[in-house]
Amino acid sequence: MTSYAALTDEWLRGVVAAGFVPGVRARARSALEDLLEEFVAAVRAEPFDPAPGRRIGVELVDLRMSAPPVLGTTVHLLAGQLPALLGEQSRERVLALLENLSVGFVAAQRDLAVRAAEEMNRSEKIHWRAVQLDLQRRLQQALLHSPDTGLPNEQHLRKTLADLGGGRSGLLLLGLDQLDELADTLGDERRHRLLATIARRLRPLGILAHLAVDLFAVLVPGTTGPDDLIKVADQALQLLAAPFPIDGHDLHVTAHAGLVERPAAGTDPDGWLHDARLALRWARHDQLGPALFDPARADDERRRHHLAAEMPAALDRGEFTLHYQPLMRLSDRTVIGAEALARWPRPGAGLVMPLRFIPVAERTGLIRPLGRHLLEVACRRAAAGPGGLISVNLSPVQLRDPGLVASVADILHRTELPAARLQLEITETAEALQYRSVLTGLAALGVRLALDDFGTGYSSLAVLTTLPFAEAKLAAEFLLDTQRRDVLGHIIDACHALGMTVTAEGIETAEQERLLRELGCDHGQGYHLGRPQPTLSI
Ligand code: C2E
Ligand code: CA
Ligand code: CA
């Protein structure tokens, strides 16, 4: 990686090679240094404005660095090296500034030429024109093509996308995996040849572009539906899967494909590329082959993203609360406790339900402080009441936290809730059941453990005998299928045999309640027995 100083030196060498006769070299260098500084400031400016590029182009000519190759050198150097210095995301800005720089340079040069033309003869004029055309061509090449393969670059692809006619089109992004590591072992020269070979293989598939070293795009105009593009994607992946013989070695490249297929009208180049990049991320994440852009999934992700961003502050403001749903003993319909269920009354957006925000909190890790907060609220409220069980949900992510047992103990201590009045619900997942020592630690505090949604996971009864669960909560799904009455009876009996009590969830009818009572189920929960409410009455 070069520094600004090295870049300035190289720029000066290029300018001198282009025929600039430096009067005082040091002065020329410091002038270029100033221009580079100005250029970098323009790249970083918020909001971005490419206009300063033009002024820098004019200044180069004013400094008498007006020979045509100066522009070529400048574009080549700055486009090639600045993105590495300023971060890859700056590439577009650098290119936009260079485009303006060339406009300024050529305009200023033309002014010079017009003045000079009065003294020029005809053949000199023809020569000058040829030089200008050559310059333009090289500038186009540098601005619109990949330095690695000479293929159209992202800028170029954007222009092509903007010019798409009516009808449908497809855009396929191909991301190569681990090219950096491969490049380190290969060296630049072989990497170059590998990329050239990849380009040759992909070229027949459509309009090919090379957006970043490890990112190719194939534009397929005139598709009739997503299937057309999926076929192209499958072909592309197949072509890339075949080994690449370089210097007698068979190199292997793996790639993922993100796809967008839609009517060309109504999406701008930014939209195409954004959506295709998103689809490529899905392909990498899901590992299920080519991923087609899906607006519903994108919407959902955007909403989750917003939620994730807002949740920490909402937690600080104390916005998360609990609703409480009664747990009833079926034999005599006594309320023996309540399950605490998380709620987020999000200002301006209504009541957000836990199935929306708990998975987001699990992904961001916020579930730990959020879970502690909810547990504390539940324990404090329960401690203020006369008695009864308070049942709080724990996420598997919380079980991973080695500090969990200590933190539960601390909350019990501070809220003065007797441990026997707290029940922790742990969903039956393979992951949750791995944390045997945490589960044992919690049970040792005197807390009851309940296996939530029992029957949806795959824990065998044998596993359960070795874990300290005092209670099984039967998933509501069991109640929906009256054909499974026998199965239900067996499961209840088996749980009893293991010393567990059984709660049936999701009881919605008197009929279901009666059936469960007959089968000897201990407790029930459901809309028929009591809905979740903001107040706790135990
Ligand atoms: P869950 O633990 O299985 O909670 C029972 C869910 O069933 C609750 O939904 C409850 O409102 C709903 N429900 C109760 N009775 C009936 C009924 O008769 N019919 C039907 N169809 N549904 C009924 P909710 O409150 O939306 O919670 C959904 C899930 O979110 C919970 O399922 C639990 O897995 C999770 N969750 C809720 N609160 C917390 C929490 O504080 N921490 C964690 N980690 N997860 C929570
Ligand atoms: Ca639960
Ligand atoms: Ca449940």
Q: For residue 394, give the ligand 1 atom closest to its CA.
A: 44
Looking at residue 183, what DSSP letter applies? H
Residue 479 clears pLDDT 80, i.e. is over it: no
Beta strands in 57-185, from DSSP E residues, in sequence order:
168-176
User: What is the longest distance spanned by two Cα atoms in the chain?
Assistant: 113
Residue 194 and residue 186 in contact, taking contact as beta carbons nearer than 8 Å: yes
pLDDT at position 464 over 90 = no
328 Cβ inside 6 Å of ligand 1: no
How far, in Å, from the CA of 352 to the mean position of ligand 1? 13
Beta-strand relationship, 291-292 and 244-246: unpaired
Per-residue confidence (pLDDT) for residue 24, from 0 to 100: 67
| C-beta of 353 in contact with ligand 1 (< 6 A) | yes
Q: Which of 310, 505, 513, 518 is catalytic?
A: 505
Q: Give tens-digit pLDDT for 239-256.
A: 999 999 888 888 889 999
Query: 492 in helix, strand or coil?
Result: helix
How far does residue 309's CA lie from ligand 2's centre (Å)? 26
> Taking 90 as the threshold, does the pLDDT of residue 133 lie above it?
no
What is the arithmetic mean of pLDDT over 50-64? 93
**Which run of H or E residues covers position 215?**
strand 215-223
Give the count of alpha carbons within 13 A of 60, CB side only. Answer: 39
Question: How far apart, in whole angstroms, are the C-alpha atoms of residue 442 and residue 300?
Answer: 36
Q: Is the peptide bond before 386 cis (omega within 30 degrees of 0)?
A: no
Check pocket membership of 325 for ligand 1, CB cut-off 6 A. yes
Cα–Cα dist 302/3, whole Å: 38
pLDDT at position 107 is 87
| Ligand 1 atom closest to Cα of residue 323 | 25
Q: Which atom of ligand 1 is nearest to the CA of 354?
A: 30
358 pLDDT band (50/70/90 cuts)?
A: very high
Q: Which two tokens stand for residue 48?
A: 């971005």
Question: With a 6 A CB cut-off, is 527 part of the ligand 1 pocket?
Answer: yes
**Across residues 7-19, what is the average pLDDT?**
90
Q: In this structure, what token pair is assigned to residue 495?
A: 């749980």
Query: Which ligand approaches the C-alpha of residue 358 most closely?
Result: 1
Phi and psi at 122, nearest 5°, equal -65, -45
Domains and CATH numbers, the chain: 4-144 (no CATH), 154-293 (3.30.70.270), 305-524 (3.20.20.450)
Q: Residue 179 and residue 185: Cα distance in Å, rounded?
A: 10
Mean pLDDT computed over 378-386: 95
**What would the pLDDT profile of 399-428 be if each residue is shown by its tens digit?**
999 899 999 999 999 999 999 999 999 998
Give the whole-number percent of the chain exceeding pLDDT 70.
97
- Residue of the CA atom closest to atom 8 of ligand 1: 341
Q: How far is the CA of 304 from the centre of ligand 1 (A)?
A: 19
DSSP 3-state assignment of 391?
A: strand
- Give distance in angstroms: CA of 510 to centre of ligand 1: 21
pLDDT mean across residues, the chain: 91
Reported as a single tens digit per residue, the pLDDT across 486-497 is: 888 988 999 999
Burial class (CB in 10 A: 0-12, 13-18, 19+), 243: exposed
User: 135-174: per-residue pLDDT in tens?
Assistant: 777 777 778 888 889 899 998 999 999 998 889 999 999 9
177 CA distance to ligand 3 centroid (A)?
Answer: 41
513 catalytic per annotation: no
**Ligand 1, closest atom to CA 395?**
44
Higher-confidence residue of 490 and 178: namely 490
- Cβ contacts of 40-46, under 8 Å, gap ≥ 24: 40/4, 40/82, 40/86, 42/93, 42/97, 43/82, 43/86, 43/90, 43/93, 43/94, 43/97, 44/86
Per-residue pLDDT tens for 32-52? 999 999 999 999 999 999 999
- Once rounded to an integer, what is the mean pLDDT over residues 86-99? 87
Does the structure show a pLDDT above 60 at 1? Answer: no
Integer Cα distance of 168 and 191 in angstroms: 35
Cα distance between residue 427 and residue 458, in whole Å: 11
| Mean pLDDT of all residues in 118-144 | 76
- Beta strands per DSSP E along 247-355: 249-251, 255-263, 291-292, 321-329, 334-346, 350-352
Q: Which of 315, 368, 391, 393 to mutate to test the pocket of ligand 1 (most atoms within 8 A of CB)?
A: 393
Q: Is the pLDDT of residue 176 over 60?
A: yes
532 lines ligand 1 (CB under 6 A): yes
DSSP 142-163: HHHB-TTT-SB-HHHHHHHHHT
Which ligand neighbours the alpha carbon of 344 most closely?
Answer: 1
Q: Is 388 in the pocket of ligand 1 (CB under 6 A)?
A: no
Q: Is 82 helix (H, G, I), strand (E, B) or coil?
A: helix
Determine how β-strand 422-427 pairs with β-strand 448-454. Answer: parallel
